[in-house]
């Protein structure tokens, strides 16, 4: 059972579309998965679910438990201001530490409107997840110019699809 984290709370995000595509790719390999969409978090979670309030927001706790009980993750990460969305890190800051990630494994996918494909975002996230004790798969596809390469819920760039398919096979074995 994989947990795919759609790593932004923007409405109708392309990350959500990529998350669904990823779910299909996992299914093609016989793997079940659930999508956690940060859009579903309580709107005030950066106050009501962090620090002294950690673990006290029931709505947030639902996602906290799902994360805690997952063994393998895929993070679909859009590039905002040269890194990952702040809301993703705030979500991580509200999770149970250190059990949520220690000795678990994840795969990272970056996407961007621009040409970098969230390369720095994935580097920063690797630092964070390693700090939390989670191993990160080496292959991290960077889907640049995503607006031109995603149409009607389908990735049109062949190389991108190959990279994702390779990654799916690798994270299953990782």
Phi/psi-derived region of residue 117, left when phi > 0, alpha when psi is between -120 and 50, beta in every other case: left
Output the CA torsion sign for 149, 154, 155, 158: negative
Helix (H) or strand (E) holding 173: helix 158-173
**CB of 39 vs a second copy, minimal distance in Å:** 9
**DSSP letters for 28-95:** HTT--EEEEEGGGS-TTHHHHTSGGGTT--HHHHHHHHHHHT-SEEEEEEE-BTTBS-HHHHHHHHTS
Nearer residue to a second copy within complex by CB, 55 or 133:
133
5 binds a second copy (CB under 8 A): no
Cα angle 69, 128, 94 (rounded to 5 degrees) comes to: 50
172 binds a second copy (CB under 8 A): no
45 binds a second copy (CB under 8 A): yes
Look at residue 140 and give its three-state secondary structure: coil
Q: How many binding residues for a second copy (CB under 8 A)?
A: 54
Query: Which residues, numbered 92-151, are part of the site for a second copy (CB under 8 A)?
Result: 92-93, 97, 103, 115-117, 119-120, 123-124, 126-140, 142, 144
Cis omega (within 30 of 0) for bond into 98: yes
**CB of 74 vs a second copy, minimal distance in Å:** 16
**CB of 157 vs a second copy, minimal distance in Å:** 12
**CB of 48 vs a second copy, minimal distance in Å:** 7
Nearer residue to a second copy within complex by CB, 93 or 165:
93
32 binds a second copy (CB under 8 A): no
Output the CA torsion sign for 117, 17, 139, 71: positive
Assigned token pair, 112: 């961007």
63 binds a second copy (CB under 8 A): no
156 binds a second copy (CB under 8 A): no
Chain residues that interact with a second copy, rule: CB under 8 A: 9-11, 43-48, 50-52, 80-93, 97, 103, 115-117, 119-120, 123-124, 126-140, 142, 144, 170, 174
């Amino acid at each position: 059972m994989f947990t795919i984290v759609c790593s932004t709370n923007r409405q109708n995000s392309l990350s959500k579309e990529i998350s669904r595509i990823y779910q299909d790719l996992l299914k093609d390999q016989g793997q079940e998965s659930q999508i956690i969409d940060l859009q579903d978090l309580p709107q005030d979670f950066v106050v009501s679910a962090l620090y002294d309030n950690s673990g006290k927001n029931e709505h947030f706790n639902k996602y906290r438990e799902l994360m805690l009980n997952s063994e393998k993750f895929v993070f679909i990460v859009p590039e905002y201001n040269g890194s990952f969305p702040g809301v993703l890190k705030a979500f991580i800051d509200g999770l149970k530490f250190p059990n949520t990630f220690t000795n678990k494994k994840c795969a990272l996918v970056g996407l961007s409107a621009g040409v970098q494909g969230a390369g720095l975002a994935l580097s920063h996230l690797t630092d964070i997840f390693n700090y939390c004790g989670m191993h990160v798969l080496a292959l991290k596809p960077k889907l640049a110019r995503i607006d031109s390469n995603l149409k009607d819920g389908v990735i049109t760039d062949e190389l991108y699809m190959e990279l994702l398919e390779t990654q799916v096979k690798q994270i299953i074995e990782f």
